[in-house]
C-alpha cells in the first residue's frame, strides 16, 4: 500500500489536463521500461502494456485514465486577468480560490495564479456573496505584474494555453489521501503497482492482458481505439462516486452496476462480487447516474465485449477529493483476484 500511496503522489503532482498529457505518459513509459516492459503509444498519446499470459487467444483489457480536469485560456481581459474555459465535467464552484498554473504553448514557460470570482472582495462588490460562479464571473489572477492584455501577451500567454489545478496532495496519519485528480490517478497507481508485482514476483496471468492508460476519458473518448480484436473482457478501473443514495464509501471497493450509459455486464459483475465474497474483500454495489467510463465508451463504440467498472470510493468527486488506504487496498485486491481468475463459464 505504501508504494501505491507514493505513486499516487507522484502522478497527482504531474499536470495532465485532457489534451496536455505528454509529461505524465513519458513518466509512465520510463517507469514501466525500468521494469522490463515495452510500452506502446497510440496516435492519441495513450500508453499500453501487453502482458503475455498462459493463453494468448482471448484477451482481457484493463484501463485507468491519467487525464484530469483542467481548463484553457478563453480570453485575456483588458485588465490582465484571464477568462477560462473548462476541460471536463465539473463546476466553477469547485475551483473557486484554487491555485493554478498556466502552461504557455508559445514559450514553454509556466505562470502560477489563482482562480477567483471577479467580485471576490466583500469590501468592494455588493454581490460578492451572491454572484454566480460561471465563465463570465470567474477569472485567473496571475502572479505577475500585468495591468493590460498586452502585458499578459508579453509573458507568452495566449488563448488556448492549458491551465492545470494545484493538486494539494496530502497523506494523513489516519490513512487518508486527499488531493485533486484522485479520479483517476488513484486507480492508475494501482495498475502501475500491479504491473510491478507481475515482474517482481514472476507472476503469470491466465490470459494475455492489455493494461491501457487512457488520456481522453474526461471528455468522453474513452480508451478503446487500440483494443485487440480478440478482447473478450474489458475492466475499467476508475473511481466510485459518493453521495446521497450511494452505498460507496472510502473503505471498500466499489463495483458499478449501472451508470449514465446503462447497466454493466451482469455476468462479469457477478464474478467480481463472487471474488470479493470468496476472498473477503470489502465491497459495495452502486449506481452512478451522471457517470461514464472508458468501458462504457467502448460499448458506445460498438465493441463486442463484457464490460465492468470497479474503483476505490472517492469523496467529493471532481472537486478536492479524498479516499482511504483501505479502499485502495480493497480495489487492488479485487483487481489481483480478477486477473488471476478464469473467464466466465470456465
CATH of the domain at 150: 2.40.30.40
- The percentage of the chain sitting over the pLDDT mark of 90, rounded to a whole number, equals 96
Determine whether the annotation assigns residue 307 to a binding site.
no
Q: Identify which of 72, 86, 67, 65 has the alpha carbon closest to the alpha carbon of residue 21.
A: 67
Q: Specify if 175 maps to a domain.
A: no
**143 plus 200 within the same structural domain:** no
Q: Specify if 263 maps to a domain.
A: yes
Q: Residue 3 — pLDDT band, cuts 50, 70, 90?
A: very high
Kindly tell me if the per-residue pLDDT of 53 is higher than 80.
yes
DSSP-derived secondary structure letter, 270:
H
First-to-last alpha carbon distance for the chain, in angstroms, is: 32
Kindly tell me if the per-residue pLDDT of 117 is higher than 80.
yes
Determine whether the annotation assigns residue 286 to a binding site.
no
Higher-pLDDT residue of 47, 1: 47
Determine whether the annotation assigns residue 238 to a binding site.
yes
pLDDT at 244: 96
Q: Residue 223 — pLDDT band, cuts 50, 70, 90?
A: confident
Determine whether the annotation assigns residue 181 to a binding site.
no
**261 plus 136 within the same structural domain:** no
Containing 271, the helix (H) or strand (E) segment is helix 266-278
Distance from chain centroid for Cα 279 = 27
Does the reported pTM lie above 0.85? yes
- Using the 3D structure, point to which of 131, 165, 199 is the last residue of a domain: 165
- Using the 3D structure, point to which of 165, 190, 207 is the last residue of a domain: 165
Q: Residue 257 — pLDDT band, cuts 50, 70, 90?
A: very high
Kindly tell me if the per-residue pLDDT of 225 is higher than 90.
no
Q: Specify if 289 maps to a domain.
A: yes
**291 plus 148 within the same structural domain:** no
**30 plus 134 within the same structural domain:** no
Determine whether the annotation assigns residue 218 to a binding site.
yes
**160 plus 187 within the same structural domain:** no
Which range of residues forms the domain containing residue 290?
A: 2-68+181-340
Q: Residue 93 — pLDDT band, cuts 50, 70, 90?
A: very high
Q: Taking residues 61-86, what's their average pLDDT?
A: 98
Catalytic one among 98, 139, 145, 217? 217
The CATH number of the domain holding residue 201 is 3.40.630.10
Per-residue pLDDT tens over the stretch 305-345: 999 999 999 999 999 999 999 999 999 999 999 999 999 87
Mean pLDDT of the chain: 96
Q: Specify if 119 maps to a domain.
A: yes
Kindly tell me if the per-residue pLDDT of 16 is higher than 90.
yes
pLDDT at 14: 98
Cα 82 to Cα 103: distance, rounded to the nearest angstrom: 13
Q: Specify if 174 maps to a domain.
A: no
pLDDT at 221: 85
Question: Nine-digit cell at 234?
Answer: 474489458
Per-residue pLDDT tens over the stretch 166-201: 999 999 999 999 999 999 999 999 999 999 999 999
Q: Specify if 52 maps to a domain.
A: yes
pLDDT at 178: 98
**59 plus 77 within the same structural domain:** no
Per-residue pLDDT tens over the stretch 309-320: 999 999 999 999
What burial class does residue 43 get, using C-beta atoms within 10 Å of its C-beta: 0-12 exposed, 13-18 middle, 19+ buried?
exposed
Q: In the annotation, is 217 catalytic?
A: yes
Q: Specify if 346 maps to a domain.
A: no
**193 plus 44 within the same structural domain:** yes
**332 plus 243 within the same structural domain:** yes
88 close to 318: Cβ distance less than 8 angstroms: yes
Kindly tell me if the per-residue pLDDT of 158 is higher than 80.
yes
**208 plus 98 within the same structural domain:** no
**217 plus 155 within the same structural domain:** no
Per-residue pLDDT tens over the stretch 259-274: 999 999 999 999 999 9
**303 plus 219 within the same structural domain:** yes
Q: Specify if 345 maps to a domain.
A: no
pLDDT at 56: 87
Contacts of residue 41, Cβ cutoff 8 Å, sequence gap at least 6? 25, 29, 47, 48
Q: Residue 2 — pLDDT band, cuts 50, 70, 90?
A: confident
* Structural domain count of the chain: 2
- Using the 3D structure, point to which of 165, 196, 218 is the last residue of a domain: 165
**107 plus 36 within the same structural domain:** no
Amino acid at each position: 500500500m505504501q508504494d501505491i500511496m507514493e505513486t499516487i503522489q507522484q502522478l497527482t503532482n504531474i499536470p495532465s489536463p485532457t489534451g496536455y498529457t505528454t509529461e505524465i505518459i513519458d513518466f509512465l513509459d520510463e517507469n514501466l521500461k525500468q521494469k522490463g516492459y515495452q510500452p506502446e503509444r497510440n496516435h492519441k498519446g495513450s500508453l499500453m502494456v501487453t502482458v503475455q499470459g498462459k493463453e494468448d487467444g482471448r484477451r482481457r483489457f484493463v484501463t485507468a485514465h491519467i487525464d484530469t480536469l483542467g481548463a484553457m485560456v478563453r480570453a485575456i481581459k483588458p485588465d490582465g486577468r484571464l477568462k477560462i474555459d473548462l476541460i471536463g465535467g465539473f463546476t466553477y464552484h469547485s475551483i473557486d480560490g484554487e491555485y493554478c498554473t498556466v502552461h504557455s504553448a508559445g514559450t514553454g514557460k509556466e505562470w502560477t495564479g489563482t482562480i477567483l470570482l471577479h467580485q471576490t472582495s466583500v469590501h468592494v462588490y455588493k454581490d460578492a456573496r451572491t454572484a454566480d460562479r460561471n465563465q463570465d464571473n470567474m477569472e485567473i489572477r496571475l502572479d505577475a505584474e500585468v495591468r493590460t492584455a498586452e502585458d499578459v501577451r508579453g509573458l507568452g500567454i495566449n488563448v488556448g494555453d492549458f491551465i492545470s489545478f494545484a493538486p494539494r496532495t496530502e497523506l494523513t496519519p489516519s490513512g487518508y489521501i486527499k488531493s485533486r485528480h484522485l479520479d483517476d490517478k488513484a486507480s492508475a497507481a494501482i495498475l502501475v503497482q500491479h504491473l510491478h508485482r507481475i515482474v517482481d514476483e514472476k507472476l503469470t496471468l491466465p490470459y494475455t492482458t492489455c493494461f491501457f492508460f487512457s488520456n481522453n476519458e474526461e471528455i468522453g473518448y474513452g480508451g478503446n481505439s487500440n483494443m485487440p480484436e480478440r478482447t473478450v473482457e474489458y475492466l475499467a478501473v476508475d473511481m466510485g462516486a459518493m453521495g446521497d443514495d450511494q452505498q460507496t464509501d472510502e473503505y471498500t471497493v466499489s463495483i458499478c452496476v449501472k451508470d449514465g450509459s446503462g447497466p454493466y455486464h451482469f455476468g462479469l459483475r457477478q464474478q467480481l462480487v463472487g471474488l470479493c465474497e470468496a476472498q473477503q474483500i470489502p465491497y459495495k454495489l452502486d449506481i452512478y447516474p451522471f457517470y461514464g467510463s472508458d468501458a462504457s465508451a467502448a460499448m458506445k463504440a460498438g465493441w463486442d465485449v463484457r464490460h465492468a467498472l470497479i474503483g476505490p470510493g472517492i469523496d467529493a468527486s471532481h472537486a478536492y477529493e479524498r479516499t482511504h488506504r483501505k479502499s485502495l487496498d480493497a480495489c487492488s485486491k479485487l483487481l489481483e483476484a480478477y486477473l488471476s481468475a478464469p473467464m466466465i463459464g470456465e
